[in-house]
Amino acid sequence: MIAALITLGILALIFGAILGYSAIRFKVEADPLVEQIDAILPQTQCGQCGYPGCKPYAEAIANGDEINKCPPGGEATIRHLADLMGVEAKPLDGAHGTEDVKKVAYIREAECIGCTKCIQACPVDAIIGASKQMHTVIIDECTGCDLCVAPCPVDCIDMIPVKETPTNWQWKLGKNAGGTVGDINIKELT
């Protein structure tokens, strides 16, 4: 009886020590799920989901919030989130905005007064300029989040759709084949 108690006690101590050591040795810094969700989100930091950035929304999703609140990500992001979270994909929640064509910010430079307000608003440092100097957008870095438009006191920022070129052109299906341009229909020649 006593031997059994001692044995079990020793075993409990050993396993406890192993567990305790593992907890320190293999400590996970952040919630990996949040990181995974964050990696799927489009990182525009636009706040259209109602959270102050992509990471906070990722945390909210990990805690059970809806996955359909991200208009810049659109259908593709919802599909990936649904895969990751193991839930049904659902259509984008219209209350948070609609999926739009890709855009980038453009500053009408002649009208810019150099107030730096947009520079402070840009979450990805895509606007260069200095106080009382003209500002401009680095188009390659702009995520099209819209956050610089509201702070501009002279309304000199436009959101311009990304230009369609032969490189980023999407093949269109169906009717245009019977129309004027694009692919030809292939069929066994009889």
Positions that interact with other proteins (CB under 8 A): 38-39, 41-45, 53-54, 75-76, 79, 123-126, 141, 143, 164-166, 168-175, 177-178, 180-189
DSSP conformational letter for 26: T
Q: How far is the CA of 11 from the CAs of 18, 25, 85, 179, in angstroms?
A: 11, 21, 38, 79
Does 70 count as an annotated binding residue?
A: yes
Nearer to other proteins (CB atom), residue 12 or residue 39: 39
Closest separation between CB of residue 49 and other proteins, Å? 15
Amino acid at 142: C
- What distance in Å separates the CA atoms of residue 1 and residue 97, rounded to the nearest whole number? 70
Question: Do residues 159 and 46 lie in contact, with contact meaning Cβ atoms separated by under 8 Å?
Answer: no
- Closest CB to other proteins among residues 24, 184: 184
Of how many residues is the chain composed?
A: 190
| Residue 156, annotated as binding a ligand | no
CA atoms of 178 and 32, how far apart (whole Å)? 50
**Per-residue DSSP letter, 61:** H
Compare residues 24 and 188 and give the one whose CB is closer to other proteins: 188
User: Is 122 labelled as part of a ligand binding site?
Assistant: yes
* Minimum CB–partner distance for residue 101 and other proteins (Å): 12
Q: Give the shortest CB-135-to-other proteins separation in angstroms.
A: 16
Q: Please state the φ and ψ torsions of residue 53, each to the nearest 5 degrees.
A: 130, 175
Sequence ranges of the binding site for [4Fe-4S] cluster: 46, 49, 54, 70, 112, 115, 118, 122, 142, 145, 148, 152
Residue positions in the annotated binding site?
46, 49, 54, 70, 112, 115, 118, 122, 142, 145, 148, 152
